[in-house]
Every structure is written in C-alpha cells, then in structure tokens.
Structure 1
Amino acid sequence: MINSYEAYMEYLNADKRALRVGDSFRDKFFHPIWKYQKLLRTLEYYMNCKRGFISKIVLLFLRYKFQKESIKLGFSISPNSCDMGLELGHYGDIIVNGKAKIGKNCTIAGAGILIGEDLKNPNAPTIGNNCYIGPGAKIIGNITIAEGTTIAANAVVIKNIIEPYTTYGGIPAKKISDKSVKQQ
C-alpha cells in the first residue's frame, strides 16, 4: 500500500518496469495502460497520504479522471487492491474486486478476467507475488493463490492453490504443470 511519496515513486517505477515502458515521448504520453496505471497509483497516493481541503479537491478530480479512463479501457480495478509491479497485458474487461489483494509483480494478461467474491462469502481472493493470470480467467471467492502460480487462459479457480510455482487450468481449475510461467 502506498503510504508515502517514496513508496509512490517505488510503485510507479516497478509498474513502469513491469510494463516495459521506455523513456521516449511516445511511451510516456501515448501508452494507454501506463497512463491508466500512473493514474491508479496517483489516486492511491492521494487517498492514503494526502489530507486537507486542496487535496480533497484534487482527489475528486483524480477520481473523475480515473473513472473516465477505466470506462475507456474496460478496467474496473479498485484502488489499493494491487501491489507494485502490476502488468496489465491488454485493455478490455478486467475486473478486480475492492476486497481482493494482488501481490507484487503480478501479470494480468488479457481481457475477460474477473477477480472477485462469490455469493456465499463476501470476501475476495488473495493472490501471491509473481503470479500470472491468463486471458479469460476467473478467480472467485475467499481463496488464496500461492506465490508464482500461473492461471491458464479461461480457467475458473474456486479453491485455494497452496503449491507455489505451479500451473492451473480448466473448469474448475486443476493442476496441469509443476512449472510456472514466471518461474526463473
């Protein structure tokens, strides 16, 4: 969670590295996902760190811009739900519940991804560090995903995954490999 200006800059740098954004003018100003993530981190910084009348006005403006960018790109990612190093692979239909917690250096690969609560339990998933979530994957309920886990495309995860650095796929998700995409 961003709790200082130094943490804010650390989050921005980690996200920039994860997205492989360069220092060119084109990358800085015309990369829609990087623009969205900068806005997400700035909103988190103002929500968590800034107090005072002017900051509240800036926060209202940031919320408006964030909502507008979210609609434009098809993202519904709640502030303070993703740790640093987030990589959003493509824009389009990515939903992350406000109660979900996503660890460091995670990749959300494509469109059609849902990370949220189920009808029985009002809690959402906790996803470990270095995880890869494939296009169309659904992670539902009060479950925990171990560090380094790969969730294959169109998988539906409804149970805990406790074994780190493995790959799960299918409906419902089952272990399909002892290796992970992010395993080095």
Structure 2
Amino acid sequence: MIKNKEDLKQYLKMDKSALGKEYKRPHFFGDDIWKFEIILRKHEYYVNTNSNFFLRKLYSFLHKKYGLKLGFSIPCNVVGAGLRINHFGLIVINENAKIGEWCDIHQGVNIGQNIEKNSVPMIGDNVWIGPGVKIFGKIEIGNNTMIGANTVVCKSFPEGNCRIAGNPARIISNEPNYYVRK
C-alpha cells in the first residue's frame, strides 16, 4: 500500500520496470497502459494519505476515465508494485481482492468474489495470469505461479511454485513461474 511519497516513487519505478519501459515518461501518443498505471498509483497515494482534496478527485476522475477507455476495472490498493498489464481489454478485479508484487495480467481476466460477501482471492507475488483467466472465491494462489489461458480457478493453490491450467484448474507442472523477480 502506498503510504508516502517514497512508496509512490517505488511503486512507479517497479511498474515502469515491469512494463519494460526504458525512457523517462510515457509518450504523448501511445503508452496508454503505462499512463493508466501512473494514474492508478497517484490515485492510491491521494486516497491513502487523504491529502489534497482537489488532486484526489482529479485522479479519481482520470482513473475512471482511463479505465473505461482501456476496459480495466482495477480499484485502488488491490495490486502490489510491479504490475504488468499486457494488453487493452477487459480486466475486472474485485475491490477486496489482494494481489502481490510483480503480477503479470493479460486481457479478459476476472478476479472476483463468490456468492458469500468478501470471499475473494488472495494472490501471491510473481504470478503470471494468462488471457481469459477467471479466479473467484475465497482462495489463495501462492507465489511464483503461472495460470494458463482460459483457466477457471475456484480452489486454492497456496504452495505456489507451479503451473496451473484447465477448467477447473489443476496443477500441470511443478515448475515455478519462469521469470522469478526479486
């Protein structure tokens, strides 16, 4: 969670690294995903510090505007630093879910609650989530996990360090995510 300016700088630096950007700022044309992530992090900062009412409202508006433009519904304080969104397209994440650092998300992903209130996923660090994945319910996904395309995850895989796929999800390999970040 971003609690101060140093945290904000660290999150922005890790997000930039995850996206593979080597230049200082997003280009005026393009880099829409990077712009969205910057807006998301600044919105989180102003919400968490409860400072500057005007900037909090501005970043709330921009967060919603860019989210609608790109098809993202990613609330504040859900995803850890080092977020990598690979493509435009529908990504929906429940506001109560928790996702660790260095998460790599593709399009068509839905991370949501089950029937019971607050029965939402807890996803560890360095998790690769393929296109079309659905993760729902009070489950835990461990660190260094790869989730294959179109997988439906409705049970926990807390041990991590594996690759899961299928409907319903099952372990297909005990090899960890191929690009473990520190």
Residue 105 of structure 1 is matched in structure 2 by 102
2:65 counterpart letter in structure 1 = K
Unmatched tracts of structure 1, length 5 or more = none
Which is further off, 158-167 or 80-89? 158-167
CA–CA distance in 1 between the matches of 2:50 and 2:93?
Answer: 24
Residue 64 of structure 1 is matched in structure 2 by 61
Residue 158 of structure 1 is matched in structure 2 by 154
The 3-state SS of whatever aligns with 1:61 is: helix
Q: Following TM superposition, by how much is the alpha carbon of 1:21 offset from its aligned partner in structure 2, in angstroms?
A: 1.1
Residue 36 of structure 1 is matched in structure 2 by 36
Residue 172 of structure 2 is matched in structure 1 by 176
CA–CA distance in 2 between the matches of 1:10 and 1:138?
Answer: 29
Q: Following TM superposition, by how much is the alpha carbon of 1:122 offset from its aligned partner in structure 2, in angstroms?
A: 2.6
Residue 17 of structure 2 is matched in structure 1 by 17
Q: Following TM superposition, by how much is the alpha carbon of 1:57 offset from its aligned partner in structure 2, in angstroms?
A: 1.7
The 3-state SS of whatever aligns with 1:90 is: coil
RMSD: 1.4
1:38 counterpart letter in structure 2 = I
1:78 counterpart letter in structure 2 = P
Structure 2 residue 132 is matched with structure 1 residue 132:
no
2:53 counterpart letter in structure 1 = K
CA–CA distance in 2 between the matches of 1:6 and 1:28?
Answer: 24
The normalised TM-score by structure 2 is 0.93
The 3-state SS of whatever aligns with 2:96 is: coil
Residue 48 of structure 2 is matched in structure 1 by 48
Going from structure 1 to structure 2, the CA distance change for 1:13 and 1:81 (only over 3 Å counts) comes to same
Contact 1:165/1:183 (CA < 8 Å) preserved in 2? no
CA–CA distance in 2 between the matches of 1:183 and 1:31?
Answer: 23
1:64 counterpart letter in structure 2 = F
Structure 2 residue 161 is matched with structure 1 residue 144:
no
Unmatched tracts of structure 2, length 5 or more = none
Q: Following TM superposition, by how much is the alpha carbon of 1:28 offset from its aligned partner in structure 2, in angstroms?
A: 4.1
Deviation digits for residues 41-81 of structure 1 (CA, Å, limit 9, x no counterpart): 00000001143xxx112211111111110000000001100
CA–CA distance in 2 between the matches of 1:84 and 1:103?
Answer: 8
Contact 1:116/1:139 (CA < 8 Å) preserved in 2? yes
Contact 2:126/2:177 (CA < 8 Å) preserved in 1? no
The 3-state SS of whatever aligns with 1:175 is: strand
Bigger share in helix: 1
CA–CA distance in 2 between the matches of 1:61 and 1:21?
Answer: 25
Moved over 2 A (4+): 27-30, 120-123, 180-184
